[in-house]
Structure formats: structure tokens, C-alpha cells
Chains A and B, each alone.
Chain A
């Protein structure tokens, strides 16, 4: 039991380390100093309060998209549609933020709720198709991502604005921005979203591990036949699992819409936050608290990387490669697990 828990902790750590080493090799080959590069990365992520603020701001949507993917994983589903659910969540949050003028204690929760609902609805479609017609959720969610991207773009251009590329800014009463958080982090873009993300992690843990509904969802995820035998409604649980996963993704969108950007602009492509959520969830072992840690890593990589071109002269393209290598090793933690067991065997 103990050694198992240790390997569960060791594997992600080793994955990150291997990624760092591979990144160094690439930097050395390309004629850059990896130590300077990584120092810049580290400084850019945690070097002073401003950077820390930015890192925490960036990890906020990662936590939520990671939770969305993990929730689906734990209930036997593969939600590739977090990206699309995030985008519709973002749009819904901004829409509510722009369209209404209400007291903050109503307006802000309403905007977040709208985002959760939009994400949930977007996930309801693949969930329903899976439960009712056994259509594979991976295919449907991928398609739903494209629909989300282009439909939201159209709405931004023709409904939320007059053929502009972005919406109006949301009202202050729907904003997650915090002068206090900005002031203690040297005026970074840190906002209150992190608190919501942490609460969401606790909700996911509690829901899955402590409630009868979570018990059902996990049972259906592992074995639909046994769940049916035991009197659970398999179809409803599949739909529900998808909907909850989508709600987490929608809230991730709200973090961007109500916190970081305070508006929504026309997107040429996907944000990537939803897709990165898959890696965040994997690295975090699909566990709510593991996800917080892995979201921190992803946030740090994303934010710290911005510092690498300016202070270490590593070009942006190479930074992307290094980050991708780290993610690659993280995602292929299976390989590391294999290596680790082999080392153990020979050690005996």
C-alpha cells in the first residue's frame, strides 16, 4: 500500500524530470544554455510576487479543465470536449456579465452558474447520444469542439458586438478581478477565480468519494453490467457524469471570461486549456488534489516560458518544444511506470 502510494507520487515527478532533461538536450543541441533557460523559466514562474500571481492566475482554468477531464475519466468516459465546453462557458459568462446589471452577490454567481450550465448543456449532447444510442463520446465531443468554436465566434461578431472581433467588457458586478489580489502581487492579473477552482476541487472529491451519487457514477464507470444488476440507472448516470464534467469545463471558461479577460474575443483556434486539461488530469492521477498540483506545474510552465526568450534568449518556438517535451513525458507516464517496475524487479 505504502510503496504503491510512493510510486504514484514518484511517477509524475520522474516524468517532469525526464521532460526537463530532454528539453535541456534540445536546448544544448540548438546552441542555448539550458541552465540559463530553466533559470529564466523558474524566475518567470516564481521569481517575484508578480510572476507568482500570474502563475496562480494561469493555473486556475487548468485546475477546472483538469477536474472536468478527470471527473469523466473516473466515471468511465473520455471527455475530449472540455475545450468546447470551456468556450461556451466563457461566452455564457461574458454574456450574462454584459447583459445584466445586478448587485455583485447576485450577478457574479449568476454569471458563473450560466457558464456551468452552458458547459453542462454542451456536454449533455454527447452524454445523451452515448447513453441512448451508444455513439462514442470521443467522436461527438471532438465535433462539438468545432461547433462551439465557430458558433461562439459568430455570436461574438453578430450578437454580442456589431461585427467587432470582441464583446463589450463585462460589468464590474460580474467581475472576478480583485484590486486586493492585484496589489499584493505587484499588479498581476490574479483574480478571485483561484478560490472558485479550489472549491471546485473539493466539490469533485466530495461528490465522487463521499456521496451515494458518486458511488453510482464510479460503479457505472467501472462496470455498467454490474451497476444495472445492482439496480442503478446506467443511462442516467452516463448523462449525469458528462453533464457534471461539462459544468466544470464551463466554469473554467468563466475564469477566463470573468477574471482574466473580462470579455470574449473571436478566436482563430482553440484556447488549448481544455486539451491541456487532459494532461493535467493524467499527471494529477485523476485525483482532485493531484490535479491542483499538476495545474500548478502547467500554469508555471505556461507563464514561466514567457520569460525564456527575453532573459535567456531562447526563441519562443524552442520554448514551445521544451514545454511540449515535458508534457510528452508526463503523458507517457505509463512508460515510466514500466521502467520503474523493471528497475524494482532487477533490484530484488
Chain B
């Protein structure tokens, strides 16, 4: 009885689409097993089959050697399988304990025995080093903590096989490290874990074995110790992937963006961008490195006109654009790939075609005298879909139905196509798989090579180091250092981002 879970030759078909084509996954007791695949490769489908949300069309599931039929999630729970969902399923106004016991409340004389529940939750939390306060309200705790509540929910129900669905997508780097420690603690206590992810770094760091799937097919299972990120990426995408994006040295030209003494306050009146100065020249990519919450979002929103700045100056090609309405700024030549593509980037309930003209619908050839020209709109959409490899059934499909990577490609296509002098990319590859990341990095560099100014904001140091020609480190709303990516290290950047003063001599050498 070596395996706790065996999914043998699982097949799942939706209509004509084969989501899982005879995939086999075997989980050993006490291991962390990665399930690796691109967005849309069929990872979630496979796990939903295991969790009883879908019924397989073929294959066999064994739990601890016994063949089982998991007809719904309750059966999965009874078999000791718990799922930590990517999108948390918590009641915001309830406490941690109330959320955890929801559906299996311990009662005493018809009343919920909340004291006992709290004690049990506390014990569990301590045992696995989760440090969760059982009496805190969900609305008051951080995203990382909320995730731990999700973990506790499964543990409270007696799960010993935990499925983590892309758990790090919503976490800060610090929280990711803590989660990794928690996962290690869980397996030490005899739990087994399936980690759904497309982040190779995490797999190399915590997993024992990895099963790769690609376009619904099982590619194979490897020992993590015997492989490397390059091999995994190639298996996942089906071709060689270059992590280091090839690029020629930058040939910076005139200043396109010139920010002087910019001050931005947030809704509470706190200064979040504090007399910031920054320039971006034509033909270069400036990367802004910083820990989340140091004014990056506000800086970008001020440049693009989404929020009002207090004072200072933002010049685009020498023309003042400070506090102009967003449309004027867009028309002045700014393209913006927003950080939150669902909130700002797309109207999810519009067809992908209509999303392609979100900023240009009022201009010819997309409309004339206030009447839309759908032929031209959809011609443009088809062209961009093809050019930017947006995988969608057709241009009439709602943006909501596309995967994150394809939504992002659509946005990039739209922004680049407007041919802006300044392209702002905020977290352009967040939540995307390596194939899409590579594609997007190439496109950004391509824009640079065409003489555009590119401003990149990212919390991923790899991305900043890899793509930027200059790195501006932001800390508490100020640019505290400008460094050359070729002459710096992650350690140095990390220190600068944490606010430590730069040692001049150390950098220039």
C-alpha cells in the first residue's frame, strides 16, 4: 500500500473537448506531489474529478488501495481528501472558528459549542504552526491568513490528503515562504499533498515528485531531485523555453516620460507617492522594483489619470499630463496594461472583440457619427487575436470565458496596437504560465526595440532583472535607487527594497 491516491487513466470529456485524456497520477503517503501544467492544461479538471465535483468518463480512482467512486465532495471529505481552493470560500463577517466549523458544527444541547470549537481550532493551528487566531473575523485578517483558515477547514474535517490549488497566486513572497514551511510541517505530520501549480521555482523548492500534464495528456511523473526547471518547462509547454529573454542592449533616445516631485495621497489622506522623480526614455525598459504597497499602484494610477495627484509634474514628450482625464492621457500616447486585468483591463461580459476597442470605439474606423461599425471592430479583433495568439473559440466569445493568459494577451494586443509612446505594464505576467510569460516579455522588448518607452512594475524580481534596462527601486513612495540589472544582484535589490541605504561603492563596481 504505497500509494494513498491513485488516479489511473482518468478521462474526462466536455462536449467535443477532451479535458483529461487518460491521465495517471499516483500520490505516495507523506509526499508533496506537484501537478504541473499550463493554464487550461486540465489540472483543475483532474482535481475536480478527485474531489467529486466532476464524474470521470473513464479510468479508476483508488484511495489507499480501495477502488472508490467519488460522487460528490462529501464523499471526498469522508475519504480524507480536502481541497484548499484558489478562490477562498469564506464568510467575511464570520470569525475564523465559525468559518471552519461551518457545516459540521459541534453542538451541545442544541447550541453550537463555540468554546470547544475554538479550542480545537487553536490546537490544530498550533500543531501545524499556522498561528491563526480562532476568534478573528475573516474580514480583518490578511489574505495569507485566510488561506490558512482554508487549510484548517480541511484539517478540521480530518483530511489527510490535501489538494492545494495554485496556493501562491494570491500571496506575497514573504507569505509564500511561510506557506512552504506550513506544507513541510503538514507532511512531517503524515499528511500527503498535491500541489497544483505552474510555478517551477516552487516545485523545485518543496516538492518530492511532479506529474506534468499538457493539453489534457499526462506527460509523465518525475522525481524533482532528478530534474531541473528547464526540463520541466519544456515538458509543460512542449518546446524549449528561454527564461533569459534574449535582447540587444538598449538604445535609449529622448525622454518620453518625465516625473518630477510627484505627490499622491490615498483615500485616507496618507502620502503614498512622496516627491517621486523618474524618467523613462524612448527605447528603454525601466523596471520598478519594490515590495507591494510602496506606492507603485498609485504612481501608475496617477500617470494614467485614474487618480488625482496632489502636486508635482508628469510630462509626456515634454507636455504636461498631470491630472488630465484618462482619455486625454490615452490620446496623448500612453498605453497601460493594468495590474488587475479583471477590474480595469476588460469588460468581462463584453465579447473579446468589443474589448479590443475599449479606448478607441469612438474613433474612426470603429465608429462614425456615433454609430459603431462592427465590421471594422471585429476585423481588428480578428487581426489582434491572430497576431497575439489569443486562444479563443472566436472573437464573439465573452472575455470572461478566456483563460488569464489569453485575457492578458488580448489586453497587450490592444494596448500595443494603439502604438503608444509610453507603454506601462503593471504586473503583466501575474498568474501566467511560463509560455505566456515568455511571450509577453518578448513583446515588451519588441516595443522597446521599436523605440517606445516602457515602464514595467513587477513584484517578481526575476522579471524585473530579466526584462529591464534600468531598475528603479521604490520604497515608501520614493525612488531610492536606480541600478543596472547587469551589475546588481537579487540580494542587493532585496535590501534596497527593504529600505536599507545604498552603498555607492558597492554598486558601481
Contact = CB atoms under 8 A, between A and B. Distances in A.
A9 interface: no
Contacts of B248: none
A215 B344 contact: no
Contacts of A218: 347, 350
B325 A229 contact: no
A219 B372 CA distance: 14
Contacts of B338: 229
Interface in A225-240: 225-233
Interface string A199-237: 000000000001111111011001101111111110000
A228 B344 CA distance: 8
Contact of B304 (A214, A219, A229, A232): A229
A225 B362 contact: no
Nearest to B363: A212
A186 to B, nearest CB: 43
Contact of B348 (A210, A222, A227, A229): A222
Question: How many B residues touch the partner, as a band?
Answer: 20 to 34
Nearest to B345: A226
Given A215-B372, A231-B325, A231-B327, A226 B361 contact: no
Contacts of A213: 370
B166 to A, nearest CB: 24
Nearest to B327: A231
Contacts of A230: 326, 330, 358-359
Contacts of A211: 367, 370-372
A227 B330 CA distance: 13
A29 B206 CA distance: 68
A226 B344 contact: yes
Nearest to A1: B396
Interface string A118-134: 00000000000000000
Contacts of A229: 304, 306, 326, 336, 338, 344-345, 358
Contacts of B331: 231
Interface residues of A, number: 20
A170 B343 CA distance: 52
A226 B372 contact: no
A212 B371 contact: yes
A210 B370 CA distance: 9
Contacts of B349: 222-223
A227 B358 CA distance: 8
Contacts of B350: 218-219, 222
Nearest to B362: A212
A232 B350 CA distance: 16
A222 B327 contact: no
A213 B372 CA distance: 9
B298 interface: no
B359 A231 contact: yes
Contacts of B326: 228-231
A231 B306 CA distance: 9
A72 B331 CA distance: 30
Interface in B339-374: 343-350, 354, 358-359, 361-362, 367, 370-372
A226 to B, nearest CB: 5
B359 A215 contact: no
Contacts of B328: 231
Contacts of A214: 372
Contact of A210 (B306, B327, B346, B371): B371
B306 A226 contact: no
A248 B338 CA distance: 37
Contacts of A210: 371-372
Nearest to A225: B343
A207 B370 CA distance: 10
Given A223-B347, A226-B347, A215 B361 contact: yes
Contacts of A225: 343-344
A212 B326 CA distance: 18
Contacts of B348: 222-223
Contacts of A216: 361
Contacts of B362: 212
A212 B331 CA distance: 17
B330 A226 contact: no
Nearest to A231: B327
Contacts of B325: 231, 233
Nearest to B354: A215
Nearest to A218: B350
A229 B306 CA distance: 6
Interface in B242-263: none
A346 to B, nearest CB: 12
A215 to B, nearest CB: 5
Contacts of B372: 210-212, 214-215
B373 to A, nearest CB: 10
Contacts of A222: 347-350
Contacts of A232: 327
Nearest to A220: B347
A230 B336 CA distance: 10
Contacts of A223: 343, 346-349
Contact of A219 (B330, B343, B358): B358
Interface string B307-330: 000000000000000000111101
Nearest to B346: A226
Nearest to B396: A1
Contacts of B359: 230-231
Contact of A226 (B327, B358, B371): B358
A262 B36 CA distance: 73
A229 B350 CA distance: 15
A223 B362 CA distance: 18
Given A212-B362, A231-B325, A231-B330, A219 B347 contact: yes
A233 B372 CA distance: 18
A286 to B, nearest CB: 13
A223 B330 CA distance: 19
A108 B31 CA distance: 81
B358 A212 contact: no
Nearest to B305: A231
B474 to A, nearest CB: 22
B439 to A, nearest CB: 23
Contacts of B354: 215
A227 B361 CA distance: 12
A213 B371 CA distance: 8
B444 to A, nearest CB: 20
A274 B328 CA distance: 41
B388 to A, nearest CB: 19
Contacts of A228: 306, 326, 344
Interface in B351-405: 354, 358-359, 361-362, 367, 370-372
- Interface pairs A-B: 9 shortest CB-CB: A231-B327, A230-B358, A229-B344, A231-B326, A222-B349, A223-B347, A225-B343, A212-B367, A230-B359
Given A212-B362, A226-B358, A229-B358, 19 more contacts: A210-B371, A211-B367, A211-B372, A212-B361, A214-B372, A215-B361, A215-B372, A216-B361, A218-B347, A222-B347, A223-B346, A223-B349, A225-B343, A225-B344, A226-B343, A228-B306, A229-B344, A229-B345, A231-B331
Interface of B: 304, 306, 325-328, 330-331, 336, 338, 343-350, 354, 358-359, 361-362, 367, 370-372
17 contacts: A210-B371, A212-B367, A219-B347, A219-B358, A222-B350, A225-B344, A226-B344, A226-B347, A229-B306, A229-B344, A229-B345, A229-B358, A230-B330, A230-B359, A231-B325, A231-B326, A232-B327
Interface of A: 210-216, 218-219, 222-223, 225-233
